[in-house]
Structure 1
Amino acid sequence: MPFVTRDTAGAIRRLDDTGASGDWLADDDPELAAFYRDAGMRAKRALTETDVDMVRVIDDLVDVLVAKQLVIFTELPDAVQQKLLARKQLRRDIGALQNLMLDDEGLF
């Protein structure tokens, strides 16, 4: 039976199993179930938001491992090689476009 701390609007903000503060709710309380569901969705959203950053970390890690010859690029599966090469090309293309836009700023 968790104890809950509420915000000024009455929504659950925190759970506490010691009973030091707040009201208690039964384990099967619908409000508690909604809090768990919302917390799970927030956690999934936060994890998803870090996925793009992690992809870049993995790209950089593969580059370092290949540069140090700890991994031989051609020994990676063909599908992995193609994806890594496609991402490198996209990054080069984006870099070139950004350079063009910077160069064009001086024209106006």
Structure 2
Amino acid sequence: MVYIERDENGQIIGVFNAPQSEGSQYISPQAPELLEFLGQSNRHEDIQTILTASDMAMVRVIEDLVGTLIDKGVILFTDLPEAAQQKLVQRKKIRHHLNSLENLMNEDEGLL
């Protein structure tokens, strides 16, 4: 996730992985305003923050790609190195657990 802080004129003055204050705002890593700021920034930390956020999104893209290749029979799950298999299985379990928790919370909304 990418959070920004703005100056009194509404201009981005900092980019962070987590909120830094009550004034921190979430922003999409692809937001044109953010990309423009990073193009003008010389701060290594700003560029590293956006790269890290992009990496997290890219991980999901790669997971989905591998899943699609397996589903279509282009590759076999067992063709992947053992370490890759373990990581994919672990992430699938975590996502399943997270989805289960979200479904429980959504079901409870009608009770109140």
Q: Deviations over 1:50-72 (max 9, x none)?
A: 11101100100100111111111
Is there any run of 5+ residues in structure 1 with no aligned partner, and where? 1-34
> Do residues 45 (structure 1) and 32 (structure 2) align?
no
Q: Deviations over 1:66-87 (max 9, x none)?
A: 1111111111111110110111
- Give the alignment of 1:9-48 within 5 angstroms: 37-38=42-43, 40-48=44-52
Structure 1 runs, 4 residues or longer, greater than 3 Å off: none
Q: Quick one: which of 76, 101, 105 aligns to 2:105? A: 101
> Do residues 76 (structure 1) and 80 (structure 2) align?
yes
Percent identical across equivalent pairs? 45
How far 1:37 moved relative to its partner?
A: 5.0
Indicate the residue corresponding to 1:54 in structure 2.
Answer: 58
CA distance in 1, matches of 2:52, 2:41: 18
**How many residues are paired up?**
73
Q: Which has more radius of gyration? A: 1
Structure 2: which amino acid aligns with 1:48? T
CA pair 68-106 structure 1, distance change in 2 beyond 3 A: same
CA pair 36-97 structure 1, distance change in 2 beyond 3 A: closer
Is there any run of 5+ residues in structure 2 with no aligned partner, and where? 1-39
**TM-score, normalized by length of structure 2?**
0.59
How far 1:46 moved relative to its partner?
A: 1.1
Name which structure has the greater RCO, CA cutoff 8 Å, separation 6+: 2
